């Protein structure tokens, strides 16, 4: 086992190749241990060099509604008024703290996504 830190793109590509080579390694074996360590190293490198930003709050709401098979009228129960749903989804009205709480509870969208500016 010859594991080293991932410091640059070449190290990263080599680590990905090695991961591919030992992907089916059994846990508890030397290759299995190497696989676990490489996964951690690659994940850390990717998080630092290829961060994924949070989604737009309104797009997150629309996506979650689609996943749950919800229509705008279903969301009216969360916001109180059907017209308010349209205003929110068209970004003509900002989410209130109460709306964020209800969306978090009903649609299970993380509050850190919902409180972002849009």
CATH number (3.90.1580.10, 1.10.260.40, 3.40.30.10, 3.30.360.10) of 57-114 reads 1.10.260.40
Give the chain's radius of gyration (CA, Å): 22
97: left (phi over 0), alpha (psi -120 to 50) or beta: alpha
Decide: pTM greater than 0.85.
no
Check residue 83 and give its pLDDT.
87
Contacts of 18 (CB under 8 A, 6+ apart): 34, 38
Check residue 8 and give its pLDDT.
96
pLDDT tens track for 4-48: 999 999 999 999 999 999 999 999 999 999 999 999 999 999 999
Backbone angles phi, psi at 31, to 5 degrees: -70, -35
Write down the domain spans for the chain: 9-49, 57-114
């Amino acid at each position: 086992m010859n594991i080293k830190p991932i410091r640059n793109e070449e190290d990263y590509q080599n680590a990905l190749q090695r991961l591919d080579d030992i992907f089916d390694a059994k846990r508890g074996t030397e290759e299995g241990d190497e696989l676990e360590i490489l996964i951690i190293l690659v994940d850390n490198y990717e998080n630092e060099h290829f961060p994924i930003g949070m989604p737009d709050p309104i797009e997150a709401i629309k996506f979650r509604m689609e996943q749950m098979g919800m229509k705008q009228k279903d969301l009216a129960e969360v916001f109180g008024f059907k017209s308010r749903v349209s205003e929110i989804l068209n970004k003509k009205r900002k989410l209130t703290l109460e709306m964020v709480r209800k969306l978090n509870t009903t649609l299970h969208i993380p509050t850190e996504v919902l409180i972002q500016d849009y």
